[in-house]
Structure 1
């Protein structure tokens, strides 16, 4: 077992003591008896990039042999051939910009499939959230200024019950939508890496058997994080006073650091569960093995992707909010404005803003699950030389 961070010698053992033959985009999982695809016996020497396996049908430039490419700056140093690129990524270790660019390329090339997944999910999610807010929201009791401590305690308990009543179904709906979207988009990006088309029905057939386990995994991580934060802050909450507040703050800070560390360590469990068809515990162990020794790199990539997607989404929402407020406050000041024109202007702006926000979520929402799948593949390329298997899979060879 080789857990050294960074790209190891091609053909080194997988980081989880498996045969490492699970290839994104391949419908079959490796068999326990070793009958699945194995590593090639002919491996390149350490520290070099080898060209993809050639053959008699390999297209070559006129007057030049495949083994003697012109000098160029490719992967592996000056004079080395560029990495093969059958799909949206070159088959070599990737940078954060290449991962984001590949996610956008996947969205552009497979936009029909992606929208066929995200649009129904977004509509159903919004309808479900409206239903929850309309019928499951509890009314809070009025608390007057001279309320007794008992009344204040009862009001606080009512507030907690109302929050739990509304938060639990809201969280369940959001997580279910995220699980469904992430599962199908992970299959889409696994095919996009090899440059192969995929339909919604094909993605559904491959992803549906793993949805229950993925749902449990997606619920376990935030619930575990919440339980850890509660346990860390509980002594300070029980102590009370200024000392208790300080102790609760320190406990919450320590829990926050631990939660971030654990979420990054187990951040690749979802694509591992989907693409390698493992169980929940095995997927968590698999993610921990892939991240081991590369925690800061995975953290940096994840943070950059969250900041970019979140920043763009926030900027769009701010533009919509400012435009809506300008419409609300500017319409009455317009010359010859009537109540009808004011209402029409405000309603039009509200509908336009809601539509723009919905379209923004449709565009930005798929980027994170797509980037997560690409980050998983990048880690396997770096640690297990998965690029060799992907090259053979893209060429349709098994040896």
Structure 2
């Protein structure tokens, strides 16, 4: 059960803290890195328990990748169903609101007198921009809700529990607003970065000479690279924030501080996992959507080569695109959210011995015991500020 990030014969690095292996059903065993080693020479190695989604040990790279997708298969009604509801709501509201406002704006511009057309056009453009506020706000709230749902699902599935969709949503809703605030802060920070770079580029290019244009292009290229690097760094260091908000019930500020601490020493591992999962999801999405889009485009040309039914073809194209895009986006959102939650669990197992707490919880629950939530910060260590 060697961690795939290490050579097969490499020793497992020691984890902080003094941990005692759980009692029955693993009596006589001592925890050695990523497995249980029996004190009886005749028994030898014993695998760590796996009551649910993952073995209760620090998660190997291959296990983490597989578990991110297994979340969908293990509880599809709750996970894929949640993703489908959220993505459908976002896309449908966006299409309806933006589509209606765009149709109204174009009709208003066409019917305006020539001497008033510039003013009407400016007002219509402003109305179109304002119409985006509702879909963006919905997207922030819905994305936060889905993230919370998947975090709860991964946490409970690790313990062998399988919750219904309604139960997941009720538990996730209790931490919706702190998570929405965090999502909003990330979005605003990214928009500010893009706006600053774009503003500098526009100022340089507006000078009009060759030097200004060259400087604008260079600032745009290197500014975009710098923004991408800073975004990747910040996203990695704060990757555990959603899980901390939901599972440990921390506020945004406390979650950021704790996430920064958890990822210390595991930055490149965390970044690699998140980037690879994102890349795999994007590749699969393109493999699914690109051939269908090409076939639909070719089919439209063959059926209506003269464009006599261009309006009907456009409507049909939008409908088909939504039918394809919504399930694909739902799968992508669930898998990426699951990867973030699994990274959090792995970090806590490696740095705080969370796996041993989970084993104790599973054993006590199986024996009818009443134990506290193993994901909460321990009270004896001072805990963390709630939010």
TM tier relative to shorter chain: 0.7 to 0.9
Where do residues 53-92 of structure 1 align in structure 2 (5 Å cutoff)?
68=40, 80-92=45-57
| Inter-CA distance 223–191: structure 2 relative to 1 (3 Å threshold) | same
For the structure 1 residues 70 and 169, does the alpha-carbon distance in structure 2 shift closer, same or farther, using more than 3 Å as the test?
A: farther
Matched, 1:264 2:250: no
Alignment partner, residue 327 of structure 2:
359
293 and 237 in structure 1: CA distance in 2 versus 1, 3 angstrom threshold: farther
- Residue in 2 that maps onto 1:287: 259
Partner secondary structure for residue 84 of structure 1: coil
Q: Secondary structure at the match of 2:57?
A: coil
Confirm whether residue 12 of structure 1 aligns to residue 2 of structure 2: no
TM-score, normalised with respect to structure 2? 0.73
Aligned residue pairs total 335
- Cα deviation per residue 1:70-91 (whole Å; 9 max; x = unaligned)? 78xxxxxxx5322221111112
Instruction: Find out whether 1:177 has 2:142 as its counterpart.
Output: yes
Closer, same or farther: CA 298–155 of 1 in aligned 2, 3 Å? farther
Please, what TM-score do these two structures have when normalized by structure 1? 0.71
Is residue 133 of structure 2 the alignment partner of residue 168 of structure 1?
yes
Runs of 4+ in 1 over 6 A off after TM superposition: 41-46, 154-160, 342-350
The answer to whether the aligner puts 1:306 opposite 2:291 as a matched pair is no
Deviation at 1:106, TM superposition (A): 2.0
Q: Deviations over 1:40-84 (max 9, x none)?
A: 5989989645639xxxxxxxxxxxxx754878xxxxxxx532222
Aligned with residue 88 of structure 2, among 109, 123, 132: 123
Alignment-derived partner of residue 61 in structure 2: 96
1:198-347 to structure 2, matched below 5 A, reads 198-231=163-196, 234-235=199-200, 237-239=202-204, 240=207, 241-242=212-213, 244-245=215-216, 246-331=218-303
SS in 2 for 1:51: strand
Higher relative contact order (CA 8 A, sep 6+): 1
* Alpha-carbon RMSD: 4.0
Listed one character per residue, the Cα deviations across residues 240-275 of structure 1 (whole Å, up to 9, x for unaligned) are: 423651345444432332222112111221111111
Deviations 1:324-382 (A, max 9, x none): 0221123368xxxxx99x99999989866643443333333311111111111011112
Cα distance in 2 for residues equivalent to 1:349 and 1:280: 41
Distance 2:215 2:120 in 1: 23
Within the candidate set 362, 375, 382, 1:394 is matched to 362
Q: Is the 8 A contact 2:150 2:334 kept in 1?
A: yes
Give the helix-richer structure, 1 or 2.
2
Q: Which runs of 5+ in 1 are unaligned?
A: 1-5, 14-38, 53-65, 72-78, 143-150, 334-338
Tell me which moved more, 305-314 or 204-213: 204-213
1:378 aligns with 2:357: no
